[in-house]
């Protein structure tokens, strides 16, 4: 009798356990469908910059420091603005796709092209006047001169972000990002070959590396455009439309708040490099720090892949009207990314100095990298959670709230503490990095609190308002087309 009673009491628990396992497995599959290709694509794209730096690093220490400054400061400045503004498209496309307003995705894509192109024009002076800007910021004269030349080569790369970011977000919202991965892999292979050919075999030095870099960024863009326009997305791309020029102001406002959110985050490491550039033996300090930030950047590609996947999952479920599914998607994404972060935390604590020789032949720089490795490992651990929570913000459309959080935690907490530890207490690079890590830790805690306190039913209602506000009936959208793809 007792065994029968126990069986009846246990059965519902077992059933609930099976349902939970099935639910987790189902959500994990949906997450990885977006996260897997997204991570690989970001690895490949980030790999272009790392490969360029590796080849330039073997040309000379000054050239490597100059490329590190331009890549980490100026290119990241442009990347932050354009990626941030493009993340508005991630919100709109994800929610519209979840609401089955498929034809609106193509209109949003074209509106985003217009906004990002105008933004890129405003960024041009930064690349044209790189040398005087770096001199004004107190950088070494020789490094500033070489950086000015490299910056001019990177102007086509900055414009490539317009197509790259928007097409990736347009395709990811539909879980059609495998094509992006194939193109990224092809581009990376070409870049390795061309970099060797132009810098090692034919000795074109910096110009050779930069020509290969430009081609590596534009090859996948051309492939993505052809895929979108030539029939790869028949439900969501209905041709070029004059409606792209309509209702631009709401898109611009959302893009600006998105840009502010992500820029404040991406520029955080930029400040770290600039503060390092004013220290003694700046060349070794910048080289060591740029190597650590490159390694950290590789890991960030995993987190940014989860950011994109979380954004897609949350926006799709909110657009579909399912608050519980959106909340569950957040939990699965955070736990998955954190587990990967813990593994990498342990890995980078063990490998330290040996990783530096991929980028440099200098023992002095390698020792400096080994000294910074514990901080690098801590950064990797924090980065496994924080970007995923930012993905929740993008998927929900909270970009403006997170922008204020980033401003307070990074620039009112992290940087001042880092400056005090680095310059007043003479911890140098370590002190600056420790302060900035503390800022990231505070920001992560705030985002966790905001996410836990979120009313997901209210988010569903807000999503419906946004989707309906910018909805264009299919008949009008068709009439506004200038051509059919």
Query: DSSP assignment of 432-480, as one string?
Result: HHHHHHHHHHHHHHHHHHHHHT--HHHHHHHHHHHHHHT---HHHHHHT
In a domain, 363, yes or no: yes
State pTM to two decimals. 0.77
Average pLDDT of the chain? Answer: 82
pLDDT band at 113 (very low <50, low <70, confident <90, very high): very high
- Kindly state the average pLDDT of the residues 187-194: 92
In a domain, 172, yes or no: yes
Q: Is the predicted pLDDT of residue 269 greater than 70, yes or no? A: no
Q: Is the predicted pLDDT of residue 79 greater than 70, yes or no? A: yes
pLDDT at 5: 44
Cα torsion angle, 289, 291, 294, 296, sign: negative
pLDDT band at 129 (very low <50, low <70, confident <90, very high): very high
Q: Is the predicted pLDDT of residue 136 greater than 90, yes or no? A: no
In a domain, 187, yes or no: yes
CB-CB contact of 330 with 310 (8 Å): yes
Residue, of 476 and 296, whose pLDDT is higher: 296
In this structure, how many other beta carbons lie within 10 angstroms of the beta carbon of residue 68?
27
In a domain, 365, yes or no: yes
pLDDT band at 245 (very low <50, low <70, confident <90, very high): confident
CA distance 273 to 269: 7
Spatial CA neighbour of 264 closest among 70, 45, 87:
87
Instruction: Identify the three-state secondary structure at position 481.
Output: strand
Using one digit for the tens of pLDDT, what is the confidence trace for 310-355? 888 998 888 888 888 889 999 999 999 999 989 988 887 887 767 7
In a domain, 484, yes or no: no
Domain encompassing residue 454: 30-249+262-476
Sequence-distant (≥ 6) Cβ neighbours of residue 19 within 8 angstroms = none
In a domain, 23, yes or no: no
Token pair of 452 as six digits: 């836990």
Instruction: Identify the three-state secondary structure at position 339.
Output: helix
Q: Which residues pair with 481 in a beta bridge?
A: 241
Q: Is the predicted pLDDT of residue 124 greater than 90, yes or no? A: yes
Number of domains in the chain: 1
pLDDT band at 183 (very low <50, low <70, confident <90, very high): very high
In a domain, 254, yes or no: no
- Kindly state the average pLDDT of the residues 449-477: 77
Sequence-distant (≥ 6) Cβ neighbours of residue 235 within 8 angstroms = 102, 103
Residue with tokens 């993340």: 87
In a domain, 6, yes or no: no
Using one digit for the tens of pLDDT, what is the confidence trace for 372-400? 888 888 888 888 888 888 888 887 878 77
pLDDT at 109: 92
Backbone angles phi, psi at 241, to 5 degrees: -140, 140
pLDDT band at 483 (very low <50, low <70, confident <90, very high): very low
pLDDT band at 441 (very low <50, low <70, confident <90, very high): very high
In this structure, how many other beta carbons lie within 10 angstroms of the beta carbon of residue 203?
9
CA distance 49 to 231: 31
Instruction: Identify the three-state secondary structure at position 234.
Output: coil
């Amino acid at each position: 009798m007792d065994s029968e009673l126990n069986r009846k009491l246990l059965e519902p628990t077992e059933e609930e356990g099976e349902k939970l396992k099935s639910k987790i497995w189902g959500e994990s599959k949906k997450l990885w469908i977006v996260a897997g290709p997204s991570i690989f694509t970001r690895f490949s794209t980030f790999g272009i910059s790392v490969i360029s730096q590796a080849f330039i690093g073997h040309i000379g220490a000054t050239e490597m420091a100059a490329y590190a400054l331009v890549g980490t400061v100026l290119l990241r400045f442009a990347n932050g603005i354009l990626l941030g503004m493009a993340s508005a498209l991630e919100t709109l496309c994800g929610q519209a796709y979840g609401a089955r307003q498929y034809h609106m995705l193509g209109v949003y894509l074209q509106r985003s092209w217009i906004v990002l192109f105008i933004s890129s024009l405003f960024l041009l002076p930064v690349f044209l006047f790189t040398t005087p800007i770096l001199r004004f910021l107190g950088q070494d004269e020789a490094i500033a001169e070489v950086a000015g030349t490299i910056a001019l080569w990177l102007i086509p790369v900055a414009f490539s972000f317009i197509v790259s970011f928007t097409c990736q977000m347009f395709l990811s919202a539909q879980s059609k990002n495998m094509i992006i991965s194939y193109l990224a892999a092809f581009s990376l292979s070409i870049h390795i070959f061309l970099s060797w050919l132009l810098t090692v075999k034919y000795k074109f030095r910096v110009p050779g590396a930069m020509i290969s870099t430009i081609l590596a960024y534009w090859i996948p863009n051309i492939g993505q455009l052809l895929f979108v326009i030539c029939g790869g997305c028949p439900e969501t791309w209905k041709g070029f439309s004059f409606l792209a020029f309509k209702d631009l102001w709401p898109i611009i406002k959302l893009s600006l708040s998105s840009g502010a959110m992500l820029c404040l985050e991406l520029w955080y490491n930029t400040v770290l490099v600039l503060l390092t550039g004013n220290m003694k033996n700046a060349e070794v300090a910048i080289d060591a720090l740029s190597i650590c930030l490159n390694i950290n950047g590789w890991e960030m590609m995993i987190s940014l892949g989860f950011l994109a996947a979380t954004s897609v999952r949350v926006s799709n479920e909110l657009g579909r009207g399912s608050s519980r599914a959106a909340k569950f998607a957040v939990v699965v994404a955070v736990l998955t990314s954190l587990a990967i972060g813990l593994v990498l935390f342990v890995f980078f604590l063990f490998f330290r100095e040996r990783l530096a020789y991929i980028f440099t032949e200098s023992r002095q720089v390698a020792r400096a990298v080994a000294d910074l490795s514990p901080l690098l490992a801590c950064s990797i651990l924090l980065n496994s959670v924080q970007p995923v929570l930012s993905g929740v913000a993008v998927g929900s459309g909270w970009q403006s709230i997170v922008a204020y959080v980033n401003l307070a935690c990074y620039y009112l907490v992290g940087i001042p503490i880092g400056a005090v530890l680095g310059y007043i207490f003479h911890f140098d690079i370590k002190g600056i990095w420790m302060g900035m890590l503390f800022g990231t830790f505070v920001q992560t805690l705030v985002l966790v609190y905001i996410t836990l306190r979120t009313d997901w039913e209210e988010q569903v209602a807000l999503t419906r308002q946004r989707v309906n506000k910018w909805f264009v009936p299919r008949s009008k959208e068709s009439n506004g087309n200038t051509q059919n793809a």
